[in-house]
Structure 1
Amino acid sequence: MPIKIQIASSDPLSTPADVLVVGVPEGAALSESVFSRLQESLGEAVSRQLKRDDFTGKKDQSVEFTTYERIKPARVLVLGMGKGPFSDADVRLLAARGARFATGARAQSITLSVPEGIAGAERAAAEGLVLGSYRFTRYFTGDRLPKTTLERGSVLVQGKVTKAGRDAVALGQQIGESVCIARDLINEPPNELYPEAFARFATTVGKQRGLKVTVFDKAALTKRGMKLMLAVGQGSARDPRLIHMAYVPKGKPKAKLVFVGKGLTFDSGGLCIKPAPGMEEMKGDMGGAANVVALMAAIAALKPAVEVHGIIGAAENMPDGDAYRPGDIFGSLDGKTVEIINTDAEGRLVLADCLAYARTLKPDLILDNATLTGACVVALGTTVSAFFANRDELADRMRAAARTAGESMWQMPLVEELRDGLKSEWADLKHTADRWGGAITAALFLREFVGDIPWIHVDVAGPSMASKPYGIYTKGGTGHGVLTFLRLVESYAR
């Protein structure tokens, strides 16, 4: 069960909890309130501990105190926040770090003292507590089951608790839980999460959140002429699905936005099969689609004044006797013909048909996100997503959204000279080019299917899964990108 969070106005050191989390800026003196009051209660052990740990409040520094029942919290965790000014992203990180510590310490309750004067702090604190306490334990049994869980969280604020504060904490909890939907989907094993199961899950989320969900099966995809998506899935015993989730606000929407996700529930590489080491991670090749489901759940909670559609192409890329081959040529929903070069570059084929479908909705923006290329990971590492945009003003808006959300994203160029690498002697396009600039040529291929609609492509191949906890993320599926996309939607709503 997810942590249940409330907002309260009380003295942090007088509030019962297994763990109290307090953030301090870099350079905080021992005479400042949190340290001086701790020293009053716990004695000189506080100053000795700070000196021993060389704690100065730098970002990522921490110091822990056991209180021996001299004050109400059983433990106090002081976390360095670095140099200000601070934003709600800093509060979210503070809360997530504290919740992860509390989970590791087998705590059942946590309180977070929210720094004063930060806009959006209550919502961000609740988001962080949910994200930091996340654990995927569905397949543990017996002794592997957790003995305790972090059940209760309190966001402590200065002054009187207001309705706006309570609403912000409730919204933050819902948004945090929505991001965890993406994490759950990515962490699911591929024998349990295949295209049809993904569609059932999205339909259930839609029913729970008041969203309209339409699912296209193989027959419907065939009727529409979505031949690229069908080609990717034809080597699998599991047929592909296209999933369309829709949120329509009351009144006239300020904009219509479409988010598209690559949903390869497992990617063996097809006939161009991947090497065995690391192939188990290919259950996470639906990270982009998982983000779309999570975003739509968050949209249902936020209720912005914009119309939002989520389009998911779910397929499984397998190498049986019916699998598509290098050298094959297929048509597409867009009408363009595509020559297959490498069957392990299947995601862009699924996205191509999904983008062409998204274009029929006549939106003000199409944004696709996908675990698309290893080249992106080579360029930016495992903690940064790349994004491409066909409008400069879109790139600026995307950068601002990522900065506000506190997620690491970097703009990459659509280098026109590399477009020649996609020319085929036998069809309208090849779907891959030379290895050099692979993330860019993948984006250039996708651009062929969006027409003149404002478009952003986000390659989340690096941060979609984490090999160890960091920041607001736990090991495994991260949901990296969802908070940025939500901020992007909010910018259109304003």
Structure 2
Amino acid sequence: MPIKVNLASSDPLSVAVDVVVIGVPEGASTGEGVLARLVAALGESVTHQVKRDDFTGKRDQSIDFATHGALKPGRVLLIGLGSGKVTDVECRLLAAKGARFANGVRAESVAVVVPPGVERAERAAAEGLVLGAYRFTRYFTGDRLPKVELSRGTVIIEGKVGKAARDAVALGQQVGEAICVARDLVNEPPNEVYPEALARVAVDVGKQHGLKVTVLDKAALTKRGMKLIMAVGQGSARDPRLVHMVYAPPGKPKGKLVFVGKGLTFDSGGLCIKPAPGMEEMKGDMGGAANVIALMAAVAAAKPNVEVHGVIGAAENMPDGAAYRPGDIFGSLDGRTVEIINTDAEGRLVLADCLAYARALKPDLIVDNATLTGACVVALGPTVSGFFSNREELAERLRSAAKAAGESMWQLPLIEELRDGLKSDWADIKHTADRWGGAITAALFLREFVGDVPWVHVDIAGPSMANKPYGIFSKGGTGHGVLTFLRLIEGFTG
């Protein structure tokens, strides 16, 4: 069960919890503030520990003290906030780090103190507590099962606890839990999450949150002429699916936005098979689809005055006698023909049909996100998503949304000279070009299917999965991107 978060206004050192988390600005000393109170309660051992650890409240510094019954909290964790302005990003990070620490010391309850005067702080802290407390333990049995569960979280504020703050904490919990849906889906094994199963999860999320959900099966995809999705999935015993989720606000919406997710529930590479080392991580090649399902749950909770559609292309790329081959040529929903060069570049084929489907909805904006290219990871590293756009104003909006959400994203260029690499001698277009600039040529291919609709492509290949926890992100599936997309949507309601 996820952590249950509530709101309180009280002295943090008088709260009966296993761990209380307090942010400390740079320049902290044992002569003032919370450190002085800890010295008074716990003695000079606090001073010695602070001096030994050289703790001054710099960003990323932390120090903890066991109270041994001298204070109501069992432990006090101080985390440095640095010298810059504290925003809701820092509040979310403070809470996530605190919850992760609480998990590590087998705590059942944790409280985080929200720095005063920070806009959206209560919501962000609740999000952080849920995200930091997250663990994927479904397949543990016996001694591997956690003996203690972090089940209670408290956001502590100054002043009176009002309805607005309570609502903000409740929304923060819902948004955090939505992101955990994406994490769960990425962490699930591919024998459990395949195209049909992924579609079922989307349907269940729709029922829980009042969303309209339509699923296109093999027959429907074939009838519509979505030959690229079908090609990618034809080597698998598991048929592809397209999922269309819709959030419609009451009254007249201020726009229509479509978010598209790549849902390769397992990518073996097909006939261009991947090397065995690391192939097990290809269960996470549906991170974009997982993000879209999570985003739609978060949107339903936030209730923005904008119509939001989630479109997911789900397939399994397997080597089989029926698998598609290099040199094959397929039509597409868009109508143009595509020559296959590398069957391990399957994601852009699935997205191409999904983007054409999204374009037909006549939206104001299309955003796709996908674990698309290793080239993007080479360029930006494993913690940063690359993004491309056919509108500079839109790129700036996404950049601002990512900064406000605290997620690392960096714009890459759509270099027109590289478009020549997609020219085919036998079809309208090839789906891959030379290896150089691979993330760019993938984006250029996708651009062919969006027409003149404002569009952003986000390559989340690096941060969709993490090999260790960092920031607000967990090991395994992270849900990186959901907070940015939600901020982007909320920006359209103003």
The TM-score, its normalising length taken from structure 1, stands at: 1.00
TM superposition shift of 1:29: 2.7
Unaligned runs of 5+ in 1: none
- For residues 72 and 167 of structure 2, the distance between their equivalents in structure 1, rounded to whole angstroms, comes to 27
Name 1:13's counterpart in structure 2.
Answer: 13
Q: Following superposition of structure 1 onto structure 2, how do residues 47-126 of structure 1 map, counting pairs within 5 Å?
A: 47-126=47-126
1:421 counterpart = 2:421:
yes
Residue aligned with 1:17, SS: coil
Letter in 1 for 2:12: P
Answer with 31-40 or 326-335: which moved more: 31-40
Q: Deviations over 1:204-236 (max 9, x none)?
A: 010010000000000000000000000000000
Alignment match, 1:435: 435
Residue 59 of structure 1 and its aligned partner are, at CA, apart by: 1.3
Alignment of 1:257-268 (within 5 A): 257-268=257-268
Question: How far off is 1:32 after superposition?
Answer: 2.6
Compute the displacement of 1:45 (Å): 1.1
Q: CA deviation at 1:30?
A: 2.3
Tell me by how many angstroms 1:263 deviates. Answer: 0.1
**In the TM superposition, what whole-angstrom CA distance separates every residue of 1:387-438 from its partner, at most 9, and x where no partner exists?**
0011010011000000000000000000000000000000000000000000
CA distance in 2, matches of 1:367, 1:476: 24
Letter of the 1:210 counterpart? G
Partner residue, 2:466: 466
- Partner of residue 345, structure 2: 345
Report the CA distance between 1:33 and its aligned residue. Answer: 1.5
Residue 29, structure 1, aligned to residue 29, structure 2: yes
What is the CA deviation profile of residues 66-92 of structure 1, one whole-angstrom value per residue up to 9, with x for unaligned ones? Answer: 101001000000011112201101000
Distance 1:89 1:13 in 2: 24
Whole-angstrom distance in 2 between the partners of 1:362 and 1:216: 20
Deviation at 1:58, TM superposition (A): 1.3
Please show how residues 471-486 of structure 1 align to structure 2 within 5 Å: 471-486=471-486
Aligned positions, number? 494
Aligned-partner Cα distance in 1 for 2:178–2:356: 27
Distance 2:29 2:41 in 1: 17
1:319 corresponds in structure 2 to: 319
Deviations 1:446-473 (A, max 9, x none): 0000000000000000000000000001
Deviates more, 1:53-62 or 1:371-380: 53-62
Question: Which amino acid in structure 2 is aligned with residue 415 of structure 1?
Answer: I
| Aligned mates of 1:2, 1:32 — CA distance in 2 | 36
Superposed CA deviations along residues 353-390 of structure 1, whole A, max 9, x for unmatched, are 00000001000000000000000000000000000011
Matched, 1:154 2:143: no
Return 5+ residue gaps in structure 2 as ranges: none
1:305-316, aligned counterparts within 5 Å? 305-316=305-316
**Distance between the aligned counterparts of 2:132 and 2:50, measured in 1?**
25
User: What is the match of residue 228 of structure 1?
Assistant: 228
Measured on the aligned residues, the alpha-carbon RMSD in Å equals 0.5
Please report how far the alpha carbon of residue 110 of structure 1 lies from its aligned counterpart in structure 2 after TM superposition.
Answer: 0.4
SS at match of 2:292: helix
Do structure 1's residue 194 and structure 2's residue 194 form an aligned pair?
yes
Letter in 1 for 2:9: S
Residues 235-290 of structure 1: CA deviation (Å, up to 9, x unaligned):
00000000000000000000100000000000000000000000000000000000
Cα distance in structure 2, aligned partners of 1:59 and 1:269? 42
Shift of 1:183: 0.1
Instruction: State percent identity of aligned pairs.
Output: 77
TM-score norm. by structure 2 comes to 1.00
Q: 1:239 is paired with a residue of what secondary structure?
A: coil
In 2: Cα distance, 1:199 partner to 1:218 partner: 13
Regions of 4+ moved over 4 Å: none
Does residue 380 of the first structure (1) align with residue 380 of the second (2)? yes
Structure 2 residue identity aligned to 1:40: A
